[in-house]
Structure 1
Amino acid sequence: MVIELIGLVAFAASGALAAVRAKLDLFGVVVLGLTTALGGGIIRDVLLGIHPPTTLRSWPYLLTAAVTGVAVFFFHPQVARLRRAVLLADAVGLGVFVTAGTTTALQNHVPAYTACLIGMTVGIGGGAIRDVLLREIPMVLRKEIYAVAALAGAVVVPIAAWLGLPDVWGTVLGSALVVAIRLIALWRHWNAPVPRAGGTAAS
């Protein structure tokens, strides 16, 4: 629970900072923070038929994300200077959310590959919605090793279950893989391949 809330704060802070850079008002900053933090989990629950979504039934999640948004609005210069800490917390939160989402999907008896895709969506969904609301191409589709890290961590969960390991092992190993890939990618400035400039000549 504590680790999830740390990740929630990191996700909410990233959404709120993006809203501040876009010069949104206080309400907009809080909404973007909530959307980034809770969007992936809401998509998961909608896909799995869980109504109402879990994060909308648990006040600590809503309160934590909302308070983070308000804090970023008033103290965004100080928060921006904590970039490394926010990135680390974001990596941990991504790992926990992805593996927890995959586990939840497996518990709802969906195929393993579907569970992995849902787990990945939990990690990247909120950020994608944030970017769409800001009229930007989602960052996970154009920059950084993010969705790939999420999918890699998600795949560990059904493999651990297939090997007969307790759920906690899948969560720990999958989360550790996500964090490792994210931190190495940030350190080495890795990005997914993009098309080379230019194109075929018109005939």
Structure 2
Amino acid sequence: MLQELFTPSVQHALDLAGIFVFAISGALLAVRKNFDVFGIAVLAEVTGLGGGLFRDLVIGAVPPAAFTDLGYFVMPLVAAVLVFFLHPEVERIQGSVNVFDAAGLGLFAVTGTTKAHEYGLGLTASATLGLATAVGGGVLRDVLANEVPSLLRWDRDLYAVPAIVGATMVVLFIRFDVLNGLTSGIAALTAFLVRLLAMRFHWRAPRAWNRRSAASEPGNEGFGKATA
């Protein structure tokens, strides 16, 4: 099905682009954590390839593409080298990197869901694995860096939700037999735009209503009700 949506060369180029921007975010976090060059490379590889690797292992697409295509493995290293030498410049264009990251999020949510269904998973499981493909690398990055994963933090703009939107649209298109290059592009674009809007307007998921927690908000020692 993936071959019907995109030509192999286009699919490969999109994958590499998504892997690169995800790897940039991993390498930048490694620099902020004062990791050495090996740590920068590891975090770049994990962030760029983690979601796709998890997806392939779950659906039985072995060996995973990350180990059969040299380009997939090398692209995060390119990102790591770039950040190692030019991280102040890369930090200054963080906004642009975030835009490309949002594009990668939408793309991976769509291709992950499609590939999971192609390997025989049901619609719900396919959407779930599409989400894992999109956000898995970031979760592994944060865990290795001893951080609470970003998609679990209330003080971060919506990240998982745009991927869920894209993956859900794909399974609905599959359900009604209208998945093609155009509709898959619409799903990826929708996820991309939702993520951009979340960053622009700081949309966040609500916390527990009438919560009573010892954790205080930054700059606020009191407790309060959940906010969106």
Normalised to the residue count of structure 2, the TM-score between the two structures is 0.84
Say yes or no: does 1:123 pair with 2:134: yes
In the TM superposition, 1:177-196 aligns within 5 A as 177-195=190-208
In the TM superposition, 1:150-161 aligns within 5 A as 150-161=163-174
Cα distance, 1:115 vs. partner? 0.1
CA contact (8 A) 1:103 1:167 kept: no
Aligned to 1:7: 18
Indicate the SS of the match to 2:46: helix
Letter in 2 for 1:179: F
Indicate the SS of the match to 1:145: coil
Quote the Cα distance in structure 1 between the aligned partners of 2:97 and 2:16. Answer: 13
Quote the Cα distance in structure 2 between the aligned partners of 1:57 and 1:167. Answer: 27
1:105-135 CA-to-partner distances (Å, cap 9, x unmatched) read 1101111000000000001100000100011
Aligned to 1:162: 175
CA contact (8 A) 1:15 1:33 kept: yes
In the TM superposition, 1:1-203 aligns within 5 A as 1-142=12-153, 143-195=156-208, 198=212
Cα distance, 1:136 vs. partner? 1.1
Letter in 1 for 2:143: V
Quote the Cα distance in structure 2 between the aligned partners of 1:7 and 1:91. Answer: 9
Cα distance, 1:167 vs. partner? 3.0
Quote the Cα distance in structure 2 between the aligned partners of 1:198 and 1:104. Answer: 42
Cα distance, 1:6 vs. partner? 2.1
CA contact (8 A) 2:170 2:179 kept: no
Indicate the SS of the match to 1:24: coil
Cα distance, 1:197 vs. partner? 5.3
Quote the Cα distance in structure 2 between the aligned partners of 1:81 and 1:141. Answer: 26
Root-mean-square deviation over aligned CA pairs? 1.5
CA contact (8 A) 2:51 2:136 kept: yes
Normalised to the residue count of structure 1, the TM-score between the two structures is 0.94
Letter in 2 for 1:135: N
CA contact (8 A) 1:20 1:29 kept: yes
**More helix per residue:** 1
Aligned pair count reads: 200
Quote the Cα distance in structure 2 between the aligned partners of 1:175 and 1:48. Answer: 22
